[in-house]
Amino acid sequence: MTNNLKFFIDGAWVDPIAPKTLAVINPATEEAFTSISIGAAGDVDRAVAAAKAAFETFSLTTKDERLALLKRILEAYNERYEDIAQAVSREMGAPVAFARSSQVAAGRGHLEATIKAFEDFELEKPRGKAMIVREPVGVCALITPWNWPLNQIVCKVAPAIAAGCTMVLKPSEIAPISGVIFSEVMEAAGTPKGVYNMVQGTGPDVGQIMAGHKDVDMVSFTGSTRAGIIVAKTAADTVKRVAQELGGKSPNIILPDADLEAAVRGGVASCFENTGQSCDAPTRMLVPADRHDEALGYAKAAAESHVTGDPNSETTVLGPVVSKQQYEKIQRLIETGIAEGATLVTGGPGKPEGLERGYYVRPTVFGNVKNDMTIAREEIFGPVLSILPYADEDEAVAIANDTVYGLGAYVQSGNIEHARVIARRIRAGSVYLNYPDWDPMGPFGGYKQSGNGREYADWAIDDFLEIKGIVGWQP
């Protein structure tokens, strides 16, 4: 018996008010492997009411009590690690080895980082004759995407718990089963009833209702910029706090003093990670114009070395993209790149040879891309890399910043001081120098149309807290 057709509300697994189901498609087979229930306004009302009631007591728990809960959640999460990995692989087509090493590991990493950050976190301190108190913002609506499901669920839930908030989670209806298992983790950890609630559903039918709900105090949303704008407008009527992590079109500046071959190969690997379905993927590679053709050769070899295929194979590097809709969007953008005059270096339209079933995309590299081309402006969200030549560093920085987005950026250099100088000139929330290891203790979030607020560790805890000044604390 699974809980796939139920919601988790007020500490119990419950049926939706009005039965309505949605098939969950395995993108590797194009066939449904299970179904979920789809909620509506009444289900959201139940979940928010439970969270509101629980807030009265959970908001008053001590830091030590909330730390103990986070540690129990981490223990329960680790016990379900393989179950979550298998679910992620089936629901979004992630190669199972990658699901274990990155997708599920990201959730564990956020739990560990939140615990570490919270242990040293000050919730109150004197200032002058006042006491500055940091209190939970209230009932939070958490709306998460399909591309890094555990990463985004945990980097919202964990800091909300630390802050003393209560919450309602809506996982993506495209990749929802990992959210079911995570809810079972929260139950197994002994989360007090009503503190954590989960309702499945679509953005319009559930997410938007949550964003506009009068008893929700904050919305934390990750998804497309288009959807984020709708969420922000909906939330504005009740003047609730909105934190958003939205789209990106991240530049990757390879400076003249970098090892070009290593930098290009690393850039291809980073762009293609998670089958290119990452909002901060380095999809615009900027290379010195006089070495552009050389860079194309390295990129072609690197792209063609990626094994695309069955997610169940331990040797697969690229699985399918998540859905038919996503596949068709990527195909349109590849065709547009060709039509607008970019050089197709490798890949292109259609599916890889021998993979006619499943939403598989050919690993694709374009060269001679201009920054006004569609493939350099729009978020493709697939294994598609655009390589742009630049004349000098000033032009490279100008191209990097010439985007409505500002989520991530990358700089490659043989001289770390040189890389640091360039990093300071880029308008992005995160700049990665020489492909560093992932660090869940650093802040994550965007400038411009990539969002507002910051996630990860203490940066995320801050977002879930209000600041109260009790003036006259010291007479």
AA letter at 250 = S
Q: 321 and 275 in contact (C-beta within 8 Å)?
A: yes
Count of Cβ atoms closer than 10 Å to residue 353 Cβ = 8
- Phi/psi-derived region of residue 368, left when phi > 0, alpha when psi is between -120 and 50, beta in every other case: left
Q: How far apart are CA 412 and CA 287, in angstroms?
A: 10
Write the burial class of residue 188 (CB in 10 Å: 0-12 exposed, 13-18 middle, 19+ buried): middle
The H-assigned helical ranges of 30-176 are 41-58, 63-79, 81-92, 96-98, 105-119, 149-163
* Separation in Å, CA 331 to CA 280, 463, 475: 20, 38, 68
User: Rounded to whole angstroms, how far apart are CA atoms 345 and 137?
Assistant: 50
Q: Which of 200, 201, 183 is nearest to 11 (CA)?
A: 183
| Exposure class string for 302-322: b at 16+ Cβ within 10 A, else e | bbeebebbbbeeeebbbbbbb
Our answer to whether residue 261 is catalytic in this structure is no
Q: Is 187 a catalytic residue?
A: no
Torsion angle in degrees (nearest 10) through CA of 337, 145, 19, 12: 170
Label the pairing between strands 7-9 and 12-14.
Answer: antiparallel
Rounded-to-integer distance, Cα 310 and Cα 66, Å: 41
Q: Which among 463, 457, 453 has a CA at the least distance from the CA of 118?
A: 457
CA–CA distance, 320 with 382 (Å, rounded to integer):
9
Q: Of these residues, 173, 245, 379, 455, which one is catalytic?
A: 245
CB neighbourhood size of 229 (10 A): 13
Write down the catalytic residue from 173, 271, 279, 455: 279
406 token code pair: 């500002």
Return the H-helix or E-strand segment holding 294: helix 292-304
Angle (CA) 404 154 201, round 5°: 75
Residue type, 60: L
d(CA 22, CA 175): 11
Active site members? 245, 279
